[in-house]
Amino acid sequence: MKRKELLFTAILFISVTMTQATNPFLSKLNTPFETAPFDKIKNADYEPAFEEGMKRHNKEIDEITNNTQAPTFVNTIEALEHSGELLSFVSSVFFNLNSAESNDEMMDISQKISPKLTEHSNNINLNEKLFARVKAVYDQREKLGLTTEQKKLTENTFDSFEKNGANLSEKDKETFRKLSTDLSQATLNFGQNVLKETNNYTLLLTDKGELAGLPSDVVDAAAMKAKKKEQTGWIFDLSAPSYIAFMKYAERRDLREKLYHAYNSKGMNGNEYDNRENLKQIAKLRMEIAQLMGYPDYATYALKNRMAKNETNVYDLLNKLLDAYKPVAKQEYAAVQGFAIGSENKNITVMPWDWSFYSEKLKDSKYDLNDEMLRPYFELENVKKGVFGLATELYGLTFKKNSKIPVYHAEVEAFEVYDAKKKFIAVLYTDFHPRSGKRNGAWMTEFRGQKVEHGKEQRPQVSIVMNFTRPTESKPALLSYDEVNTFLHEFGHSLHGMLTECTYESLSGTSVYRDFVELPSQVMENWLSEKEFLDRFAFHYKTGEKMPAELIQKIKDADNFNIAYFSVRQLNFGFLDMAWHTLKTPYTGDAVTFETEACKKTQIMPIVEGVAISPAFSHIFAGGYAAGYYSYKWAEVLDADAFSVFKEKGIFNKEVANSFRENILKKGGTEDPMVLYKRFRGQEPTIDALLKRTGVK
């Protein structure tokens, strides 16, 4: 080699070495519990880390496929399971932050890297030599003396290859590559469009009279928003605390209507963020992938590995619940309508922008109860103690804040979690308030999952992300009842992630069927209206007094207020999701017209022109709930049935809690969920407990 070439090679080697040394993803993790070094990660680190992660993953795949020994569980299935560790870690950090703390640069990176990741995934799933080895082990799985978990991993691995085109012809594999790449890009664009539309809208009010009806802390929060934007007045936006409060309390009906239209026309404003054509393309691409695999539609393709199994069972549940709830929902709407007419002393038709406003007033009139009466007892720090304390009571967990664990934003807190024997269980991150870089909603996720590899256990690093009411200049963060409920819900997901005890990461924690994953989250919501639980943390933020017994009784009395209407609304989302994903030919018409037809049977209120759910329905068009939104109702049947055992034996009963932990939370996706549920409950669930809980039966 010439001297000049040697010099160039040396410079290149030094450059690569320096890059790897300075890139926190490619260096040894010198952080507590090997947590993500958020304080060192820069946007420029992501692409090199992704490239290196894919490079290492490809090398690991080559080692499996080039193995001259006969395929075994260890050298094929287990080796594949343990491959791609760096890529998985980088992806978890990047995509979690792209939801919780994003910016324009990260969105641009996601646009560049997503097609590469899809191509990388396709190269693995469509690798014939690799699939041949997987199939060889799968075909012999009953004769290999595998454990239950090993057998489940083998079956899941084979199913994943099959579902992702491994059995297709060469021509069809190329078609699959293009369809999956296009789908990845379309869903990414959908989510980014929704976030940008959400962030771009503000309602600036400058006349104090326009604030009539709004509680002082809501007004203070709006003033803070205006001040941050160097505006004079009060700013309301489409973040959950701002939007929900305005719709509940603002007396100016015209302004409620204006904000309602802004919220419900996201993704359909004829601008660069319009999602109407995009969502039809997503539905079409999913349909084409399913049909390429030999299924009539995407729902049939997706439901194969769900508790529901098929469309018939999904529609059976949705229709049964609709039959039970719709007549009651109509009565609830009529009651709100009658109250509105009486309170306004004139004939008024309750429209969607009126529903929260008059519902809240009717609830207050009927039960002498509203959110503002409860907020003083739900100061965020006390709520955290209560929610964490519930896990202590049920499962013996303790939570120790660790400020030395790096976090991705100053508002995020990190906790070490230990069990009753002082054994380290997990790291839990909490992120409570809305920001411009955070998408709407609430969710639980992981930066690292739980697994055991070469005798060493990796415990999970779990995060719960929400958009709760912020503190103001004069008050701490005082949550609404619904926000506390959401906290419990997401915390339930985190318990599923933290208490898992599996061998393989792809089976651990929340890696379960989509219509089973909501059971551990939704069951936690049941404690919120229980006096025994509220007595432990619901203290007035000024006086320290317990929430009065009569106020707790009002919560119990109002527990099912308008429950049928909200149930029908959830069913509406389920029917709409199924309509888009049971298409057998591409839909080329108007997306809003399609939605109107799909939602016809769940319609309670008058139809409003110019608004729709679909163009901003991120759960199904940008998230993992395609042909799966029904799972919230499916899991609601499970959670009502499961909590009935706690109600029967005591809501803090250690025996019941231990059974739920051992049979549900601990097991992840290592066995069929119905087997796990029956092991806990002793029988299959019925809808009876749910109907009884909601007062319909």
- What CATH number is attached to the domain comprising 533? 1.10.1370.40
pLDDT greater than 90 at residue 564? yes
Query: Tell me, what amino acid is at 152?
Result: K
Alpha carbon of 395 to those of 389, 444, 525, 657, 682: distances in Å? Answer: 10, 19, 16, 7, 21
- Same domain membership, residue 133 and residue 73: yes
148 in any annotated domain: yes
Joined tokens for residue 79: 């080796």
Joined tokens for residue 93: 């950090």
Residues 6+ apart with CB under 8 A from 246: 203, 214, 218, 236, 255, 256, 259
The residue to which tokens 């296009």 are assigned: 182
**Mean pLDDT value across residues 525-551:** 97
CA–CA separation, 194 and 266 (whole Å): 7
- Same domain membership, residue 459 and residue 382: yes
Task: Starting at the earlier edge strand, list the strands of the sheet with 413-418.
Answer: 398-401, 413-418, 424-431, 461-465, 443-448
Q: What is the mean pLDDT of the chain?
A: 95
185 in any annotated domain: no
Residues 6+ apart with CB under 8 A from 522: 489, 492, 632, 635, 636, 638, 639
Joined tokens for residue 42: 């820069």
**pLDDT given for residue 16 in this prediction:** 47
CA 244, chain centre distance (Å): 19
**Mean pLDDT value across residues 291-317:** 97
- Same domain membership, residue 574 and residue 531: no
Lowest mean pLDDT among 5-19, 57-71, 124-138, 558-572: 5-19
- Same domain membership, residue 549 and residue 418: yes
Contact present, 49 and 27 (Cβ < 8 Å): no
490 an active-site residue?
yes
pLDDT greater than 70 at residue 297? yes
What band does 12 get if pLDDT is binned at 50, 70 and 90? very low
pLDDT greater than 50 at residue 399? yes
Q: Which of 603, 629, 655 corresponds to the end of one domain?
A: 629
- Same domain membership, residue 336 and residue 288: yes
DSSP codes joined into one string, 224-266? HHHHHTT-SSEEEESSHHHHHHHHHH---HHHHHHHHHHHHTT
320-365 pLDDT per residue, tens: 999 999 999 999 999 999 999 999 999 999 999 999 999 999 999 9
- Same domain membership, residue 381 and residue 359: no
**pLDDT given for residue 347 in this prediction:** 93
Secondary structure element (H or E) that encloses residue 463, with its range: strand 461-465
Residue 275, SS3 per DSSP: coil
pLDDT greater than 50 at residue 11? no
Reported pTM: 0.94
CA–CA separation, 562 and 332 (whole Å): 6
Contact present, 270 and 611 (Cβ < 8 Å): no
- Same domain membership, residue 571 and residue 537: no
- Same domain membership, residue 640 and residue 625: no
Q: Which of 149, 197, 483, 490 is catalytic?
A: 490
- Same domain membership, residue 538 and residue 644: yes
419-478 pLDDT per residue, tens: 999 999 999 999 999 999 999 999 999 999 999 999 999 999 999 999 999 999 899 999
13-41 pLDDT per residue, tens: 444 444 556 899 999 999 999 999 999 99
CB atoms within 10 A of CB 658: 14
358-393 pLDDT per residue, tens: 999 999 999 999 999 999 999 999 999 999 999 999
482 in any annotated domain: yes
Contact present, 517 and 496 (Cβ < 8 Å): yes
Joined tokens for residue 381: 């720090």
pLDDT greater than 80 at residue 6? no
The range of the structural domain enclosing residue 415 comes to: 375-557+632-693
382 in any annotated domain: yes
Number of domains composing the chain: 4
Tell me, letter by letter, the H, E, C secondary structure of 569-637.
HHHHHHHHHHHHHCCCCCCCCCHHHHHHHHCHHHCCCCCCCCCCCHHHCHHHHCCCCCCCCCHHHHHHH
Contact present, 38 and 406 (Cβ < 8 Å): yes
- Same domain membership, residue 389 and residue 523: yes
**pLDDT given for residue 5 in this prediction:** 52
- Same domain membership, residue 593 and residue 568: yes
191 in any annotated domain: no
What band does 630 get if pLDDT is binned at 50, 70 and 90? very high
Burial tier of 696 (Cβ tally within 10 Å: 0-12, 13-18, 19+)? middle
Secondary structure element (H or E) that encloses residue 425, with its range: strand 424-431
**pLDDT given for residue 690 in this prediction:** 92
Alpha carbon of 364 to those of 244, 252, 359: distances in Å? Answer: 17, 19, 8
383 in any annotated domain: yes
**pLDDT given for residue 328 in this prediction:** 97
- Give 445's strand partners: 463
Q: Which of 167, 188, 219 corresponds to the end of one domain?
A: 167
63 in any annotated domain: yes
What band does 686 get if pLDDT is binned at 50, 70 and 90? confident
**Mean pLDDT value across residues 605-628:** 97
143-182 pLDDT per residue, tens: 999 999 999 999 999 999 999 999 999 999 999 999 999 9
Q: Which of 629, 660, 685 corresponds to the end of one domain?
A: 629
- Same domain membership, residue 664 and residue 640: yes
Nearest to 561 by CA among 403, 353, 396, 355: 355
175 in any annotated domain: no
**Mean pLDDT value across residues 396-407:** 98
Share of the chain above pLDDT 70, in %: 97
